[in-house]
Amino acid sequence: MIQAIGLTSDPRKELPPAVDDVSFEARAGRVTALLGASGAGKTTALRLMLELQRGRGITYFRGRPLHRIAHPSREVGVLLGDLPGHPSRTVRGHLRMLCAAAGVPARRADEVLEVVGLVSLREERLGTLSRGMDRRLGLACALLSDPHTLVLDDPAGGLSARESRWLYGMLRAHAAQGGTVLLTTADPKQAARTADRVVTLQRGRLIADQEAADFARTRLRPRVAVRTPHASRLAALLTKEARTAHRSVEVVRESGNRLSVYGSTCADVGETAFRHGILVHQLADEIGDMGPDAEAGTRTAQPRAHEVPQSPDAALATAGGRGRKATPPVPERGFTATDDPAATGKAPQTPGREPATADGRDAGGGQQASAEVPQARAGGPRPADAPTEGSRASRAGSRSSSSSAVPLPDLPPPISVRPAPSPLRPLRYELRRAVGVGTSFATGAAVLVVSALTAVLLARVGHTPQHRLMAAWPQQLPLPPAALGAGLLGAVAFGDEFRHPALAADRGTVPRRLGLLAAKLLVASATALVLAVLTVGCDTEVLYLVYGPELAEVPADWLALGASWIGLLVGCAWAGVLAAGLFRSATAGLAAVVAVPVVVVPLVQKAFEGPSVRTAAGFPLRLRELLLSQWPFGGERYLEAAARVVTQPVGGALTLSLTALLCAYVLTTLRSRVR
């Protein structure tokens, strides 16, 4: 159950807030639609509920706000806007990355792919998916952690009628098993067809909160549905008579031989058809959209007089689950009291989470009761607000199904995972994120090529020391290509978290977790170390091939130079990671790396060159003399090399920048947790 209380967004300048004091409920076992035109505040309301946007108010998910839930991704499945993700990442790789983020087994990715029908496309890139496949993958991401609640922003936007029916069938199946579904839509007819309750927003304010049947009766235009083989002739006659009588009548030609007449009655249309000898196959009053989509199995807003009202559970029992034989559809006419489950006292059979076999046993081998009540999702007991069989049967009179029963889609099986100490597997997630796309490999290859070419050109021009020649670091550039590449790889490390609501459901939980930061710094350090070794090796080999062994000799102080080189690349990678995590932008991360030699180094040099009484000259030598007896096996050399790195202009500036970025990151993390 969702309880949204007093949702109000922060106003911008002189504009009123996009959402102003909105309160509503979305109960378990039901589909709730948040209806409103473009700009009504639907998406803003969802972002306020998920704590992704600043504002006032609070939202309870089964009695707890989202920031008080230990595992937000296992409680709420989210789909906001288009599916975010790197266009080069595969469908299966994207889901496996989210599995590691949510702490669920990797096999869960294959299970949800089978449910949404994307098994054949699991190796396709995200950038090649069509709109319909993108929506299917978005629903798979929302179902990945087996959440109790689904929050979807315009899930059927841009889909065909067939894709929309499939999507709403999945949501109906989720609700039928005790889950909560909240979706947004701008189509009133779609809301009346697919939802149990409709919450209407207009200019950021709540103007109506109604049952779907009441919404269709009070807020949608009534009309007369006519089916006749002479639709064109009858439409022309109705239009002519209305013009003669000066009445406002609108006749809309639907698909096939169907007409929708607005502003008239069944009696007037029937008299016109009788006077002109036109055969009529159907003549009925309708509210909402109960026309062509109703025959395809779409839920309608209000039952016709001759149709059988049927609850969602009854429809599910008629259709059955995976591997269960569907019963014949209920005929339109000849309905008697003995055909109604509510009248006979028999509870309709509702399948559990596990698929049942033909002999009535579930997949686990246990006998399945015929009147079993579906338990709540996410492994917990059924909440008090979940509808029972009797309450659903009592609502059957206000909702109707089509003339033929349509089976609801199957949902992925439940997952049984031991509770993790945190909702993420940071290191596993970061490794899958880093190797799931070719960005890291392409960047590394580009750095090696540019470094080799730069080293060859510097050797040809001359006037470059050998140690800078091997690193392809000319005097005119603030940083070598390898350092810029390491900083870029560190800056893009926070790319997926800020764009994927499933990973940032708790006001940026994932980006602000220190465990994830440690995993990113560890992977960035390993990447920078590999890049440092490969760059020096490739540059040395190219110099040897082009100019001979003279320029490929190992310097005498290779240990200190190697430590400085590795420290430089690791420091640049860390600066990119921290800056990107702090400012939530990869561009800001790369800018922080470049700013170290361009801005920070001159400031540090200017500070040390100012008037002073004493200087720190000879600090490495005095440090070595002090610690000589305390470090056996020559360990003081490593400490001396580290001191030399820190005392260099770039090294000191980089150390200062990393300290400032780390302190700022920790402070923002603590501030977000205090809130």
Give the pLDDT of residue 26: 94
My answer on whether 631 and 592 are in the same domain is yes
Give the pLDDT of residue 610: 60
Place of tokens 């600090």: 619
For residue 549, is it within any domain?
yes
Give the pLDDT of residue 237: 93
Cβ atoms of 54 and 62 within 8 Å: the answer is no
For residue 611, is it within any domain?
yes
DSSP state of 355: P
Place of tokens 């983020």: 101
My answer on whether 432 and 555 are in the same domain is yes
Residue 566, CB half-sphere, CA atoms under 13 Å: how many? 15
CA–CA gap between residue 76 and residue 148 (Å, rounded): 6
DSSP states of 153-173: SSTTTT--HHHHHHHHHHHHH
- Nearest to residue 77, comparing CAs of 190, 183, 186, 193? 183
Instruction: Identify any residues that bridge with 210 across adjacent strands, giving them in sequence order.
Output: 198
My answer on whether 181 and 231 are in the same domain is no
CA–CA gap between residue 319 and residue 330 (Å, rounded): 11
- Starting at the edge strand found earlier in the chain, the sheet holding 282-287 runs 250-253, 258-262, 222-227, 282-287
Cβ atoms of 593 and 491 within 8 Å: the answer is yes
Give the pLDDT of residue 393: 35
For residue 235, the enclosing domain spans: 221-287
C-alpha pair distances (Å), 595 with each of 480, 483, 574, 657 = 14, 13, 14, 9
In sequence order, which ranges of 220-311 are alpha helices (DSSP H)? 231-244, 266-275, 292-295
Would you call 485 helix, strand, or coil by DSSP? helix
Instruction: Identify any residues that bridge with 4 across adjacent strands, giving them in sequence order.
Output: 24, 59
Domain edge (last residue) among 287, 303, 318:
287
Angle at 349 (CA atoms; ends 346, 352), nearest 5 degrees = 150
My answer on whether 133 and 24 are in the same domain is yes
Buried b (16+ CB within 10 A) or exposed e, 113-128: bebbebeebbeebbee
My answer on whether 262 and 146 are in the same domain is no
Hey, how many other C-beta atoms are within 10 angstroms of the C-beta on 651? 20
Crossing angle, helix 558-583 and helix 514-547, to 10 degrees?
A: 140
CA 556 to chain centre: 54
Which CATH number covers residue 283?
Answer: 3.30.70.1360
Give the pLDDT confidence of 620-638 residue by residue, as tens digits.
566 556 555 555 555 555 5
Angle at 191 (CA atoms; ends 185, 192), nearest 5 degrees = 165
For residue 328, is it within any domain?
no
Angle at 638 (CA atoms; ends 637, 643), nearest 5 degrees = 95
Q: Say how many domains are in the chain.
A: 3
For residue 384, is it within any domain?
no
Domain edge (last residue) among 235, 266, 287:
287
Q: Residue 674 burial (CB < 10 Å; 0-12/13-18/19+)?
A: exposed
CA–CA gap between residue 181 and residue 82 (Å, rounded): 19
For residue 352, is it within any domain?
no
Radius of gyration of the chain (CA): 33
My answer on whether 257 and 212 are in the same domain is no
Instruction: Identify any residues that bridge with 183 across adjacent strands, giving them in sequence order.
Output: 33, 152
Give the pLDDT of residue 272: 93
C-alpha pair distances (Å), 484 with each of 135, 409, 436, 522, 573 = 37, 50, 22, 18, 9
For residue 615, is it within any domain?
yes
Phi, psi of 205, deg, nearest 5: -115, 150
Residue 396 in tokens: 């059957």
Sequence-ordered strand ranges (E) for 212-314 = 222-227, 250-253, 258-262, 282-287
E strand or H helix that includes residue 23: strand 22-26
- Nearest to residue 512, comparing CAs of 383, 520, 533? 520
Place of tokens 């378990």: 28
Would you call 40 helix, strand, or coil by DSSP? coil
DSSP state of 600: I
Instruction: Identify any residues that bridge with 286 across adjacent strands, giving them in sequence order.
Output: 223
CA 20 to chain centre: 25
Kindly give the parts of the chain with pLDDT less than 50.
290-405, 417-423, 502, 504-511
Give the pLDDT of residue 34: 95
- Nearest to residue 310, comparing CAs of 387, 371, 398? 398
Crossing angle, helix 481-491 and helix 514-547, to 10 degrees?
A: 160
Q: How many residues does the chain have?
A: 675
- Nearest to residue 351, comparing CAs of 373, 333, 329? 373
- Nearest to residue 503, comparing CAs of 24, 100, 37? 100
Q: How far apart are the first and last CA of the chain?
A: 24
Would you call 177 helix, strand, or coil by DSSP? coil
E strand or H helix that includes residue 77: strand 76-79
Place of tokens 């700013």: 595
My answer on whether 250 and 107 are in the same domain is no
Cβ atoms of 664 and 582 within 8 Å: the answer is yes
Give the pLDDT of residue 97: 86
My answer on whether 35 and 95 are in the same domain is yes
My answer on whether 233 and 205 are in the same domain is no
Give the pLDDT of residue 315: 35
Domain edge (last residue) among 287, 321, 344:
287
- Starting at the edge strand found earlier in the chain, the sheet holding 64-65 runs 22-26, 2-9, 55-61, 64-65
For residue 380, is it within any domain?
no
My answer on whether 46 and 155 are in the same domain is yes
My answer on whether 455 and 527 are in the same domain is yes
Angle at 519 (CA atoms; ends 515, 520), nearest 5 degrees = 115
Which CATH number covers residue 35?
Answer: 3.40.50.300
For residue 585, is it within any domain?
yes
- Nearest to residue 305, comparing CAs of 405, 189, 225? 225
My answer on whether 147 and 243 are in the same domain is no
